[in-house]
Structure 1
Amino acid sequence: MIDPKQIFNIKTEAGFNTMALQVFKFQFENNPVYRSFCDLLYKNPSDIKTVEAIPFLPIQFFKSHHILSSKNNIAKTFASSGTTGSVTSKHYITDVSIYEDSFNYGFNAFYGDIKDYVVLALLPSYLEREGSSLIYMVDSLIKDSNHPESGFYLDNLSALSETLKRLDSEGKKVLLIGVSFALLDLVETYAFNLNNTIIMETGGMKGRRKELVREELHSILKSGFGVNAIHSEYGMTELLSQGYSKGNGVFNYPNWMRIITRDTEDALTIQNSGKTGGINVIDLANINSCSFIATQDLGRVNNDGSFEVIGRFDTSDIRGCNLMVL
């Protein structure tokens, strides 16, 4: 059994590669769904010598199978958003403390101590449903900030506007994290000129508005809040780690996470940096589910290891990976 604490102590590329191969072997032996997928590809740990050669499980499997590498009881189930009647992804968590360690260490690595911030959350579409991993994370950050004015806002934009302006003018460090459509609602109703506030969007119009390209969205938000950059969070139900962007849509990730891209026509071919392709995520915090996931996002990995999200696949199928009936 791999000690999760080892995952969060990774310091070097060599250390990451060694741990990733160990996690692959562990999940091959303990995750029946992932084992079946690897068997269909004729991939065995004895044949895998590099991280790039590890098979990446299509993310749709989280909609149709129990993806577990642990026999422990399920402590928490995170579920994706979806339209009425649609099949949602479910991430079964046997050890919630691993998720908590991941987002706490990750946030601290990029932004410092959460106690330095007042955390304001504008996430109505997530609050209105059960099982959001984002709400779980932000609720924990709000509590850990230990500031009496940290909290969630649903429809009370007027109160949020007043609080945000006052805290910023008092020189408090503020983190406003919100879903895109709600942040747009806020700046269309109220004007801001903020100097001490980080605006972090979590993406998505959730069917409430027309989708905008990132450049247009960030331009509107920068103007509306009076800030120089819009930060972003890259996360999903199927992951226990997040990437963060401090502007221009360029993301970085913590030491236990990696992004690589695959050819859009051949899902088993890994691309070099600089080419747009399907985003594959290695999230070693997913030790008890699956750490190697082929997402439906399109993106590009830069030469320095940072990455950008370009868009989504047009169809729900990830081409080249449909080897098992979903």
Structure 2
Amino acid sequence: MYHTSLWPWFVGHLVDESANRLLFLFPDLDQAPESSLVHMMDTAAKRLAKRECCFAADGQWQIDSQVAVDFLHDCATQNEPVTILGTAFSFVHLLDHLNADAMDFQLPSSSAAMETGGYKGRSREMPKAELHRAITAKLGVPSSRIICEYGMCELSSQAYDGKLGQANAAPRLFRFPPWARARVVSPETLADVELGQSGLLQVVDLANAGSALSLQTEDLAKRHADGFELLGRAELAESRGCSLMNLSHD
């Protein structure tokens, strides 16, 4: 059920037929078999097996910046569009490496990036807009082709805040597939808030056939008619997720 839920929504938002290369700022599945996010990336790599894939982190989630840079350099010189997938922190570490070496890329025009995960209370945080500007400046990927993913190990479905190949107007709104429903609820009553109001995000995921169908998160969101705007974690919420893992770069 997980793969049935994951794949069509991933393809519809992140797969560009002109991008034949994928750079994953993640360890491969053999190195991090317990990570749901790594499992998701492994599924994507296997489904897109005809494309050239590179995993640029080890089992400790240490980014091998040289592997990533070499792969990106080859993409640029061969004029091969690439999709780069990583957590917010892995992008920061790659960008720090590029800054330290006074290096940047102008990747081919159909290149893209998928960014997921927050900073979970760690230092070296970058506001999302600043991070995306840095990705554009150092990698040449325009903001319209930087797609954010929202998901967690308790869910079988993921939400994205845009689609490659279409205009993604501000504010960027996350949308789940039709078999999952996002609600923004009052923390006091758990009733739906009014349109334009903020509250806690609740997700009902029918693809969770073997686990809880409804999940109450501690993520803050603003309710819109056709999606939700992610605002961050509720105050005093426990830090969690893949971006909390020990990440570094060479």
TM-score, normalization: structure 1?
A: 0.60
Alpha-carbon distance between aligned partners in 1 of 2:222 and 2:53, rounded to the nearest angstrom? 35
- Of 257, 265, 270, which aligns to 2:188? 265
Quote the residue 1:157 is aligned against.
65
CA shift for structure 1 position 224? 2.1
Quote the residue 2:38 is aligned against.
135
Quote the residue 2:152 is aligned against.
236
Alpha-carbon distance between aligned partners in 2 of 1:200 and 1:280, rounded to the nearest angstrom? 23
Report the secondary structure of 2:85's partner residue.
Answer: strand
Quote the residue 1:144 is aligned against.
47
CA shift for structure 1 position 147? 3.6
Map 1:1-326 → 2, pairs under 5 A: 98-112=1-15, 117-123=20-26, 129-147=32-50, 149-154=52-57, 155-190=63-98, 191-194=104-107, 195-205=109-119, 209-229=123-143, 230-246=146-162, 249-266=172-189, 268-303=190-225, 305-316=226-237
CA contact (8 A) 2:28 2:38 kept: no
CA shift for structure 1 position 199? 1.1
Identical columns (%): 31
Aligned pair count?
Answer: 218
Structure with the higher fraction of residues in helix conformation: 1
Alpha-carbon distance between aligned partners in 2 of 1:297 and 1:126, rounded to the nearest angstrom? 28
Letter of the 2:64 counterpart: N
Report the secondary structure of 2:174's partner residue.
Answer: strand
Letter of the 1:107 counterpart: F
Stretches of structure 2 lacking an aligned partner (at least 5 in a row): 58-62, 99-103, 163-167, 239-250
CA shift for structure 1 position 139? 0.7
Q: Are the structure 2 counterparts of residues 211 and 314 from structure 1 closer, same or farther at C-alpha, using a change threshold of 3 Å?
A: same
Q: Are the structure 2 counterparts of residues 121 and 127 from structure 1 closer, same or farther at C-alpha, using a change threshold of 3 Å?
A: farther
Deviates more, 1:202-211 or 1:132-141: 202-211
CA shift for structure 1 position 237? 0.9
Alpha-carbon distance between aligned partners in 2 of 1:138 and 1:112, rounded to the nearest angstrom? 13
CA RMSD, 1 decimal: 2.7
Alpha-carbon distance between aligned partners in 2 of 1:300 and 1:122, rounded to the nearest angstrom? 29
TM-score, normalization: structure 2?
A: 0.76
- Residue-by-residue CA offset, 1:215-241 (whole Å, 9 max, x unaligned): 222222222222221211101011011
Alpha-carbon distance between aligned partners in 2 of 1:214 and 1:192, rounded to the nearest angstrom? 20
CA shift for structure 1 position 310? 0.1
CA contact (8 A) 1:122 1:176 kept: yes
